[in-house]
A and B are shown apart, each in its own frame.
Chain A
């Protein structure tokens, strides 16, 4: 069974040094430790399991290729998510920008909006679909920040590091993302959220 937590006397830098020497076991350990975080980011971004798994695969391949660029003192998780973020943006540009209605199983207009009147409308799968569709309509950077903040539970400071932008910019983009999402979701719910 592959470890999902680091041993007390084994830190990530030791594992990285072993990967640099081509140690397969160390590579698998690092993959097991961070695969869920990368998947979470990619899945929240694309809302597609297969695409998210492709991103995971590609992210760890890039990790292996660029491992010598990682320096002691850097935050490994942020460094890895930076790779994943870049791949998400590239993948989105290459694949999704060609077709806007790429994976919409059901047109948003046909979703059961009556469910909005239920006691807990957020449990409705259609409403979750509305949120997911509206999320895809956000600009790439706003979408990434929204996903990282709400689903990866990252702090503004970490997001700023991963995206390579100023902390103030992250705050204002998150604010804009939330405002835009509210504007996009509101018409489908028949009332303003």
Chain B
């Protein structure tokens, strides 16, 4: 039964001769075996013939038309409405122009050019000589590096002097009885330690670039910090006052100022 249902779907295509050879053979053999489907097919064929009968009406209608005259009439109406052939939209014209076969060699040439250009660029960029040349170009003259190092030393010294100046100012301006507490505070002792460490770092640079004046001042500051970091609660107020006086006598702060100005002027 389900087999019949499956074949019935192809009955119309079979009568219209639209079935492929294999399906046609299968259906034919089914029709030979199944009287129900054979009967159904015969009825369908009859109906199809009935539908064909409409062709008589079509033929009659066609006979009544003057086919010789019709194209003239049609043309007359069409050309009356449109004197010139309608203009193609510019986009359609452009696409037609670009898609014409005679432009194919041009496109092929362009494509080849792009490919060759890409390949050439690729090989040129990855060639070892060029990389070497580029590496060589990076090398800079030795005096440039030297001046860079000098500038670094100058800046480091300036930074050291500035920080020292702030710390000494705090110390000098504080009353002598509170100075011991100041130096025992975490902040001041840490700063002093940092500055002592920094001094060790800038020492070789000061020697190398013969910044003698700066070296003298920096040595004095170093000594001072070393002394101050040793301060204990036992140190009397008189002794602290003595150190403060020494700073003033030696005009350490003024010297620092002058040196800073001098170093600032000699910027590389």
Measured CB to CB, the residues of A under 8 A from B are 1-2, 19-22, 24, 27-29, 31-32, 35-36, 39-40, 43-44, 47, 49, 52-53, 56-57, 60-61, 64-65, 67-69, 121-123, 127-128, 131-132, 135, 146, 149-151, 155-156, 171, 174-175, 178, 181-182, 185, 192-193
Contacts and interface: CB of A to CB of B under 8 A. Distances in A.
Q: Which of B13, B47, B68 has the most CB of A within 10 A?
A: B47
B19 to A, nearest CB: 10
B134 to A, nearest CB: 53
B86 A65 contact: yes
Contacts of A174: 12-13, 16
Interface string B77-118: 111011011101000100010000000000000000000000
A56 B74 contact: yes
B186 to A, nearest CB: 87
B51 A61 contact: no
Given A24-B75, A35-B71, A57-B77, A64 B44 contact: no
B16 A149 contact: yes
A47 to B, nearest CB: 7
Nearest to B8: A175
Contact of B50 (A39, A52, A60, A131): A131
B1 interface: no
Interface stretch (B52-60, B195-203, B223-231, B260-268): B52-60
A123 to B, nearest CB: 7
Contacts of B61: 43, 49, 52
B43 interface: yes
B64 interface: yes
B18 interface: yes
A193 B65 contact: no
A17 B107 CA distance: 25
A185 B78 CA distance: 41
Nearest to A128: B53
B80 to A, nearest CB: 10
Nearest to B70: A35
Given A21-B85, A151-B58, A193-B46, A127 B74 contact: no
B126 interface: no
Given A21-B85, A150-B51, A128 B65 contact: no
B57 A132 contact: yes
B267 to A, nearest CB: 76
Interface of B: 9, 11-13, 16, 18, 43-44, 46-58, 61-62, 64-65, 67-68, 70-75, 77-79, 81-82, 84-86, 88, 92, 96
Contacts, number: 131
Contacts of B43: 192-193
A67 B55 CA distance: 31
Given A24-B79, A68-B92, A57 B74 contact: yes
B44 A132 contact: no
Nearest to A172: B9
Contacts of B92: 68-69
A49 B65 CA distance: 9
A131 B51 contact: yes
Query: Lowest 6 CB-CB distances: which A-B pairs, in order?
Result: A22-B85, A31-B71, A68-B88, A122-B53, A193-B47, A28-B71
B65 A171 contact: no
B9 A175 contact: yes
19 contacts: A20-B88, A22-B85, A27-B78, A31-B70, A31-B74, A39-B65, A43-B58, A67-B85, A68-B86, A121-B50, A131-B50, A131-B54, A132-B54, A146-B51, A156-B13, A175-B12, A178-B12, A178-B48, A193-B46
A2 B57 contact: no
A185 B75 contact: no
A182 B79 contact: no
B86 A171 contact: no
B54 A56 contact: no
A19 B57 CA distance: 34
A144 to B, nearest CB: 14
B50 A65 contact: no
Contacts of B46: 193
